[in-house]
């Protein structure tokens, strides 16, 4: 989804900074964007490291003079019910899914306030709103993302910073495809669970994120939008 979101913003004319702990992944996304005529640079650092987040944001601010949009999309899924989940799984899930958001928002907020506003879009999940079995760490972290989004919006709307979130259902990503391979399920199995007839595509998620960050959503603040094809968690 991060690649799709980055590509959509670049297509809209944004100067995109692709942040990832995976250098090869960041470079691949940047190459895809620049190959299509867009503007993008990589920024490789660990989003769970507060100092690294501050340094990366400072570099972007120095280079471009402002940051108009922050999209928090990093996420991992450590599966299992409580008695099958290790403490490391629990901590890693919250470090990536929630703490990274805390670090990046703290790093960006003062700049956005000083420049008169900005937009933040956070990736939650339908599983954070409607719990699915066997994913207690992921579900709980994404529920926290939804509340974090609403609290941040309430606290900083008066400063011109709009904060919204998205809550996708199943989306065809490498993470999903690896899980299909692990479980032996097929894409058709997942499509059958969605009333719309299929799971989502990264480009469809990207379109929603771009809208929430745009001037067309100027009065949307504190909203978490489900994008699921009417899928119910099961």
Position 173 scores a pLDDT of 84
CB burial class (10 A; 0-12, 13-18, 19+) of residue 117? middle
C-alpha 188 chain-centroid distance: 26
Q: Does the active-site annotation cover 138? A: yes
Q: Which tens digits make up the pLDDT trace of 51-102?
A: 999 999 999 999 999 999 999 999 999 999 999 999 999 999 999 999 999 9
Position 186 scores a pLDDT of 87
CA atoms of 151 and 163, how far apart (whole Å): 9
Low-confidence ranges of the chain (pLDDT < 50): none
CA atoms of 104 and 62, how far apart (whole Å): 16
With residue 30 as reference, give the H or E element that holds it.
helix 23-35
Position 68 scores a pLDDT of 98
| Tokens describing residue 53 | 């987040």
For residue 1, CA distances in Å to 111, 117, 200, 221 come to: 26, 25, 10, 22
Please give the backbone phi and psi of residue 174, each rounded to the nearest 5 degrees, phi first: -60, -35
Q: How many CA atoms lie within 13 A of 129 on its CB side?
A: 18
CA atoms of 100 and 45, how far apart (whole Å): 11
Q: Which residues contact 115 (CB under 8 A, 6 or more apart)?
A: 66
Position 224 scores a pLDDT of 98
Position 214 scores a pLDDT of 98
With residue 19 as reference, give the H or E element that holds it.
strand 15-20
Q: pTM for the full model?
A: 0.94
Position 3 scores a pLDDT of 96
With residue 54 as reference, give the H or E element that holds it.
helix 50-64
- Domains, the chain: 65-227 (3.40.50.720)
Position 189 scores a pLDDT of 86
Position 8 scores a pLDDT of 98
Task: Answer yes or no: are the C-beta atoms of 138 and 168 closer than 8 Å.
Answer: no
Secondary structure class of 121 (helix, strand, coil): strand
| Tokens describing residue 11 | 């297509």
Q: Which residues contact 139 (CB under 8 A, 6 or more apart)?
A: 125, 127, 128, 131, 132
Determine which one of 127, 138, 148, 156 is catalytic.
138
Position 234 scores a pLDDT of 54
Residue 17: which of 78, 75, 61, 81 has the closest Cα?
61
Position 90 scores a pLDDT of 98
């Amino acid at each position: 989804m991060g690649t799709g979101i980055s590509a959509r913003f670049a297509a809209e004319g944004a100067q995109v900074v692709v942040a990832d702990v995976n250098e090869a992944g960041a470079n691949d996304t940047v190459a895809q964007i620049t190959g299509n005529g867009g503007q993008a640079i990589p920024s490789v650092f660990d989003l769970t490291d507060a100092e690294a987040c501050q340094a990366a944001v400072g570099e972007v601010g120095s280079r471009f003079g402002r940051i108009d949009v922050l999209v928090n999309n990093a996420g991992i899924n450590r599966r299992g019910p409580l008695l099958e989940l290790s403490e490391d799984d629990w901590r890693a899930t919250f470090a990536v899914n929630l703490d990274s958001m805390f670090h990046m928002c703290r790093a960006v907020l003062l700049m956005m306030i000083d420049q008169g506003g900005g937009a933040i879009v956070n990736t939650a999940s339908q599983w954070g709103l409607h719990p699915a079995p066997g994913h207690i760490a992921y579900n709980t972290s994404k529920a926290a993302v939804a509340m974090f989004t609403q609290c941040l919006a309430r606290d900083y709307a008066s400063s011109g910073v709009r904060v919204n979130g998205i809550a996708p259902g199943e989306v065809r990503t490498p993470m999903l495809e690896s899980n299909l391979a692990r479980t032996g399920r097929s894409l058709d199995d997942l499509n059958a669970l969605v009333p719309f007839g299929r799971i989502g595509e990264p480009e469809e998620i990207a379109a929603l994120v771009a809208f929430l960050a745009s001037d067309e959503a100027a009065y949307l603040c504190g909203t978490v939008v489900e994008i699921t094809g009417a899928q119910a968690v099961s």
